[in-house]
Amino acid sequence: MHLLVTPLLYRIFTIQASPQNTRLIGILLLIEFSVVMVVHMVMNEFLLHAVTFGLGVLLVATQTIKLVSQRVPHPFTRKKLRNIGLFGVCSFVFGYMVWLIDEWACNPLIRIRHSVGLPLAFVFELHGWHRRSIHHWLDPRQSRGSKNHRSSSSDDKLNLVKQNFGADLTVNYKTHPEWSKEVLRLTNGEGVDYILENGGSGTIGESLNAIKMGGNISVIGFLSRAEQSKMPDIASLALARGAVVRGIVVGSTQLLEEVTRFVATKGLRLPVDKVFAFKEDAVIEAYEYVSSGSQIGKVCIKVAE
């Protein structure tokens, strides 16, 4: 947005300027652009970004209309161009206000869309490309547009998550050591689109065999290490599948805010397996419980009533 507006501002304000003023205007606009972008990206700040963008576009529009009046001698042509400029200004103001409403009234709009349902929900979609738009008023699993596959070494756990948490397909990797073959069988040979890989080098080969062409594998752990002699050829496997293998340590603040907002908006209740007190013995017990791997869901430590 600012990458588009800033060069236009520079061109309009320097069209009749001296070389010295042209350089000065360029420096000032560069400073303004840099400050706004850094503040917006680092602090996830919206107001400064929105206000400066709006002012920039309005300056471009008003200065363009002014230049038309000064430089187009023919009255009829000048009037036509000015009308086009005014129409552009009005269109921008309307779209800009819709954008601001969608940003500042996001949660109320989500609730309205959720309550009225399709097809009336599209009336309240405003500018539909917004990152928090249509998927919020769909069912959580529909919003992902996906089937949920789970793997575990325990059939009891798999049955529990299938009954209580909506897993579509499950695979026991002890029963099926080469579990990628079972995944391919269950998906009619297609494979899966997205894999959360928490095994590391010991299981990444199976993940690459189970991934669909062009799929994504996010490596989030390294619970299973392969011997050097048995290390899979990750480069060749990824190339053969056209897969993206990405390591993820922790998400950004923005991603955390978005998933928190999604959970709150949908009223989702995350499964909590066990809650421990905030005491030394209880905290140690909590970590030991997590290490045992017997939990299904979150293990929490309650720090306050």
Kindly state the percentage of the chain with pLDDT values over 90. Answer: 8
Residue type, 241: R
DSSP 3-state of 218: strand
3-state secondary structure of 232: coil
Q: What is the pLDDT of residue 249?
A: 79
276, pLDDT greater than 90: yes
Lowest-confidence range among 20-24, 162-166, 167-171, 243-247?
A: 162-166
Residue 127 in marked binding region = yes
Summary mean pLDDT of the chain: 78
Checking if the pLDDT of 106 tops 70, the result is no
Is the overall model pTM greater than 0.75, yes or no? Answer: no
At residue 139, the pLDDT reads: 39
Going by C-alpha positions, the residue among 157, 199, 155 that lies closest to residue 295 is 157
pLDDT tens digits for range 179-211: 889 888 888 888 888 888 888 888 888 899 899
The rounded distance, in Å, linking the Cα atoms of 125 and 127 is: 6
As a whole number of angstroms, the distance between CA 113 and CA 107 comes to 10
pLDDT at 38: 81
Confidence of residue 129 (pLDDT cuts 50, 70, 90): very low
Whole-angstrom distance, CA of residue 108 vs CA of residue 225: 48
Segment 208-262, tens digit of pLDDT: 989 988 889 988 887 777 777 778 888 888 888 888 998 887 778 888 888 888 8
Residue with tokens 């998550």: 161
- Mean pLDDT lowest among 7-21, 106-120, 130-144, 289-303: 130-144
Q: Output the CA torsion sign for 183, 189, 194, 200.
A: positive
